[in-house]
Chain A
Amino acid sequence: MNWERIEKAGETVFFGVHESGLPVYVLPKEGFSSTYAVIGTRYGSIDNEFTADGEQLHVPAGIAHYLEHKLFENEDGDAFQKYAKTGASANAYTSFMQTAYLFSCTENVAESLEVLLDFVQNPYFTEASVEKERGIIGQEIRMGEDNADRLSLFQMLRCMYKNHPVREDIAGTVESIADITPALLYTCYRTFYNLHNMALVVSGNIDTQTVEAVADRVLKKAAPFTLERTPVEEPAAVCETRVQATMPISAPLFCIGFKEPVTAGYVHTATELVAAELLLELLAGSGSPLYTRLLEEGLINETFDAAYFEGTGYAAFLFSGESSNPDRIAQLLTAEIDRLKAEGIDEELFEEEKKAFYGRLIAGLNDVESCADWVLDDHMYGRQPFALIDSVAQLEVTAVEKVLQHCLLADNKVISIVNAQEGR
Chain B
Amino acid sequence: MSLNREVIAHGVTFTALPDRRFKTARLTVGMFLPLHEQTAAANAMLPALLTRATAQTPTLIAMHRRLSRLYGAEVSAGVQRLGDCQLLTMTARCIDNRFTLNDEDVALEMTALLLEMLFSPHLSDDGLFSAEDFAQEKRCLCERIAAQINDKRAYARFKAEGLLCPDSAYAVSAIGTEQAATALTAQTVTDAWKRLLKTAQFHWFYAAADNGEAVKAAIKRAFAGLSRQAAPCTTVAATATENVRSGDEKMAVAQAKLTLGFYVGAAEPHTREVMAARLMAALFGGSPNSFLFRNVREKMSLCYYCRASLDRIKGVMMVDCGVDAANVQKAQNAILQQLQAIKDGAFSSEDLETARLYLKNAFLDKENLQGSMVMWLLGQSNGTLQMTPREAVALLDTITADEVAAIAKTVQLQSTFAVLPEAEGDAV
Chain A residues engaging chain B, CB cutoff 8 angstroms:
9-10, 29-34, 78, 80-81, 83-90, 104-107, 132-137, 139-140, 142-143, 145-146, 148, 151, 204, 245, 247-251, 285-289, 291-292, 295-296, 298, 301-303, 322, 352-353, 355-360, 362-363, 365-368, 421, 424
Known: A143-B304, A362-B99. A367 touches B368 (CB 8 A): yes
Restricting to B297-318, which residues have a CB under 8 Å from any CB of A?
Answer: 297-298, 301-305
Chain B residues engaging chain A, CB cutoff 8 angstroms:
19-24, 48, 59-61, 63-65, 67-74, 93-95, 99, 132, 136, 139-140, 143-144, 146-150, 152-153, 251-255, 257, 287-289, 293, 297-298, 301-305, 322-324, 354, 357-358, 360-362, 364-365, 367-370, 427-428
Q: Which residues of A have CB within 8 Å of B287?
A: 84
Q: How many A-B residue pairs have CB under 8 A?
A: 197
Contact yes or no, A146 B364, CB < 8 A: no
Q: Which of A84, A134, A367 interacts with B288 by CB under 8 Å?
A: A84
Q: Which residues of B have CB within 8 Å of A249?
A: 147, 149-150
- Extra 13 A-B pairs, beta carbons < 8 Å, given A87-B361, A132-B298, A358-B72: A87-B360, A135-B302, A139-B322, A145-B428, A251-B143, A286-B60, A287-B65, A291-B60, A292-B60, A359-B95, A363-B95, A366-B370, A367-B22
Contact yes or no, A355 B48, CB < 8 A: no
Instruction: Give min CB distance, A93 to chain B, whole Å.
Output: 14
Query: From B362, which residue of chain A is reached at the shortest CB distance?
Result: A89
How many Å lie between the Cα of A359 and that of B69 in the bound state? 10
Q: Which residues of A have CB within 8 Å of B362?
A: 89
Q: Which residues of B have CB within 8 Å of A151?
A: 428
Q: Which residues of A have CB within 8 Å of B93?
A: 363
Contact yes or no, A145 B150, CB < 8 A: no
Contact yes or no, B357 A295, CB < 8 A: no
Report 19 cross-chain contacts, Cβ distance below 8 Å, ordered by A residue: A84-B354, A104-B365, A132-B298, A136-B301, A139-B323, A140-B304, A143-B322, A146-B255, A146-B428, A245-B428, A247-B252, A251-B147, A288-B61, A295-B136, A302-B144, A359-B95, A366-B24, A367-B368, A424-B149
Contact yes or no, B23 A362, CB < 8 A: yes
Instruction: Give min CB distance, B422 to chain A, whole Å.
Output: 9
How many Å lie between the Cα of A289 and that of B364 in the bound state? 44
Query: From B365, which residue of chain A is reached at the shortest CB distance?
Result: A34
Q: Which residues of B have CB within 8 Å of A247?
A: 252, 428
Q: Which residues of A have CB within 8 Å of B21?
A: 29-32
Q: Which of B60, B68, B302, B303 interacts with A355 by CB under 8 Å?
A: B68
Contact yes or no, A32 B368, CB < 8 A: yes
Contact yes or no, A287 B365, CB < 8 A: no
Contact yes or no, B139 A360, CB < 8 A: no
Q: Which of A89, A142, A148, A365 interacts with B150 by CB under 8 Å?
A: A148
Contact yes or no, A33 B61, CB < 8 A: no
Instruction: Give min CB distance, B152 to chain A, whole Å.
Output: 6
Known: A34-B365, A80-B288. A322 touches B71 (CB 8 A): no
Contact yes or no, B64 A287, CB < 8 A: yes
Instruction: Give min CB distance, A326 to chain B, whole Å.
Output: 14
Instruction: Give min CB distance, B130 to chain A, whole Å.
Output: 12
How many Å lie between the Cα of A167 and that of B166 in the bound state? 46
Contact yes or no, B73 A248, CB < 8 A: no
How many Å lie between the Cα of A136 and that of B112 in the bound state? 51
Closest 4 CB pairs of A and B: A287-B64, A359-B71, A356-B72, A135-B301
How many Å lie between the Cα of A363 and that of B24 in the bound state? 6
Query: From A351, which residue of chain B is reached at the shortest CB distance?
Result: B68
Q: Which residues of B have CB within 8 Å of A424?
A: 149, 251
Q: Which residues of B have CB within 8 Å of A250?
A: 143, 146-150
Instruction: Give min CB distance, A211 to chain B, whole Å.
Output: 19
How many Å lie between the Cα of A141 and that of B396 in the bound state? 37
How many Å lie between the Cα of A34 and that of B389 in the bound state? 13
Contact yes or no, A352 B68, CB < 8 A: yes
Q: Which residues of B have CB within 8 Å of A88?
A: 361
Contact yes or no, B24 A142, CB < 8 A: no
Contact yes or no, A106 B73, CB < 8 A: no
Q: Which of A89, A289, A359 interacts with B73 by CB under 8 Å?
A: A359
Known: A296-B132, A355-B71. A137 touches B304 (CB 8 A): yes
Query: From B303, which residue of chain A is reached at the shortest CB distance?
Result: A139
Known: A136-B304, A142-B322, A368-B368. A83 touches B288 (CB 8 A): yes
Residue among A34, A151, A366 with max Cβ neighbours from chain B (10 Å): A366
Contact yes or no, A10 B288, CB < 8 A: no
Contact yes or no, B140 A106, CB < 8 A: no
How many Å lie between the Cα of A247 and that of B427 in the bound state? 10
Contact yes or no, B23 A298, CB < 8 A: no
Q: Which residues of B have CB within 8 Å of A104?
A: 361, 365
Q: Which residues of A have CB within 8 Å of B147?
A: 249-251, 303, 322
Contact yes or no, B150 A366, CB < 8 A: no
How many Å lie between the Cα of A298 and that of B142 in the bound state? 12
Query: From B306, which residue of chain A is reached at the shortest CB distance?
Result: A139
Contact yes or no, B254 A142, CB < 8 A: yes
How many Å lie between the Cα of A41 and that of B267 in the bound state? 45
Q: Which of A89, A291, A292 interacts with B358 by CB under 8 Å?
A: A89
